[in-house]
Amino acid sequence: MKQFLLFAALFCSLAATAQSDTPNDWWDMDRTENTFPGVSAKKTHNYLEGKTATKVIVAVIDSGVDIEHEDLKDAIWTNEDEIPGNGIDDDRNGYVDDIHGWNFIGGADGRNVNNENLEVVRLYNTYKKKYDNRNRDGLSKKEKVEYDAYKEYEKIVQDKRTELGPNYEQYKGIKESMDVIVKKTGKSIEDVTADDIAAIQDKDMATGQIQKVVANATERGATVQELYADLEGALDYFSGQMDYNYNPDFDARDIVGDNPGDLDDRNYGNSDVDGPDASHGTHVSGIIAGVRDNGIGVNGVGGANVQIMSIRTVPNGDERDKDVANAIRYAVDNGAKVINMSFGKGYSPYKKAVDAAMKYAEKKDVLMVHAAGNDGKMLTLTNNFPNDTYEGKKRTGKTWIEVGAASAFYDENLAASFSNYNKKHVDVFAPGRDIYSTTPDNNYASFNGTSMAAPMVAGIAALVRSYFPDLKAKQVREIILESALPVNLQVKKPGSEEMVSFAELSATGGLANAYTAVKLAERTKGKNRKAGKRDETLRMY
């Protein structure tokens, strides 16, 4: 599920914070040279200038990508074996007109899935068909297990809807009051100021509450327009949760027209790789491959030799296992050497299908990079999917990297408060807070999330693979982890105020870094040699 950020005003307080003082490109920087703990991409590209490199395709399995974006269009993969728009599968790969990737959540008629259920709702609906109005006492042992799961899912769905209802009504009421008050000023929302709202003399409760909210916002550096946008975002979030994510009566799959339980079916969808909401995937792509030094936008970590393959798989809701498995296979079969997966969910009913696709990618020498999630909790192998534990067995993924999110602050706040963590199951941290990147229609914005941290690492992987094409995916993984810069800091454990060693949050205890990865790659010659050992230069942090 795409991770969404919610900054909205309450009646007497403001959850939104002032704009960050960090520079937009902090994540491109080097701590030694620029003080910010970025991935040192700028330093790395300067070092590599003049050296020979090959093209590397990075598959972005996500919500879609704006392939016409001014800062991405020159970095988009094109299937040279397919003739655009002729309605024929020219390369005979099973996908008609897949010029820049494929859309596994679209229909043959051109429609697209935007909103979707969460997996827990789909599981609830599946078991409800079988166990609704049945008595547990008369069931077999196996059926009792399923029945108990059904009741658990039912409670989760009902409790969540009960929780969401009042929040939705509250934010709806705030926004409606805001609309009334803006109208009283005689100005549009684009032009109204905090002073205009403060000047209204009405003494009714709603006016007083909105005036207080706006005053709190301006004290924190926000504008009326930013506050209003946050309110709209809050309403979208809660209505999306109520109407789609946690709504058992909503089913969008008829748009695709397939059987989501038929895991052998791979030829469905359409060629629309943008989709109706490409914000998340476009942002991720800019981090990896935004055209460097073109005077606009952002400088992607991967550089000029990286091409983005868009595989639309992630709706506003939980992605389906079938689509994820097919997306991985499509990426592998069409030449991707790195796959970025900035998504995740709490249940995976067809995990075996995803596991099989991941094993296929590993066998075909493809590196997979996955976001650890934004719950501010200990990541386990039962609360975040996909993961690289195959069919419940021990962690075996040799070409899998799990990424947590770091901030621009090299102090107790270095670990992003929302990031998941685990010394065993999270491999490394990378910049994931206040990340400025591309968004649709030639726009740019700052997002937070491990969704932003994963493409930092995917960009490093693509950079290494482009300049050192003889290295295998498992070697690149080893290089990235071995070259992670150790952090000797006590930090706030994500999701709490407890102080812990940063080294306890991931397997490496460090931050991914492009420069040290390239330097280590230079010492890792040949296809079968292991990466060099960590040296004392990595102690600089």
SS3 78: coil
Q: Which of 279, 310, 451, 506 is catalytic?
A: 451
Residues facing 491 on adjacent strands: 500
Chain centroid offset of residue 336 CA: 19
**Amino acid present at 330:** Y
Residue 501 catalytic? no
| Terminal CA-CA length for the chain | 34
Among candidate residues 446, 12, 448, the one with its CA nearest the CA of residue 219: 12
Q: Which of 28, 30, 45, 62 is catalytic?
A: 62
Residue 451 catalytic? yes
- Our CA angle for 113, 119, 121, nearest 5°, is 95
Is the distance from CB of 388 to CB of 472 less than 8 angstroms?
A: no
Torsion of CA 45, 48, 51, 55, to 10 degrees: -40
Residue 370 catalytic? no
Q: Return the half-sphere exposure (C-beta side, CA atoms, 13 A cut-off) of residue 130.
A: 16
Which tokens is 113 given? 């899935």
Is the distance from CB of 56 to CB of 75 less than 8 angstroms?
A: no
Is the distance from CB of 514 to CB of 540 less than 8 angstroms?
A: no
For residue 507, give every residue at least 6 positions away whose Cβ sits within 8 Å of its Cβ, in sequence order, or none.
423, 424, 425, 426, 427, 428, 481
Is the distance from CB of 329 to CB of 78 less than 8 angstroms?
A: no
Among candidate residues 122, 17, 24, the one with its CA nearest the CA of residue 408: 24
Which tokens is 286 given? 């800019």
Q: Which of 69, 100, 280, 283 is catalytic?
A: 280
Torsion of CA 283, 58, 67, 62, to 10 degrees: -50
Q: Return the half-sphere exposure (C-beta side, CA atoms, 13 A cut-off) of residue 256.
A: 26
Among candidate residues 369, 308, 344, 242, the one with its CA nearest the CA of residue 99: 308
Residue 40 zone, left/alpha/beta (φ > 0; ψ -120 to 50; rest): left
The sheet with strand 400-406 has its strands ordered as 101-103, 306-312, 56-62, 336-341, 367-371, 400-406, 428-431, 510-511, 485-486
> What crossing angle do the helices spanning 41-48 and 450-467 adopt, rounded to 10°?
10
Reduce the secondary structure of 509-525 to three states and give it as a string: CEECCHHHHHHHHHCCC
Active site residues: 62, 280, 451
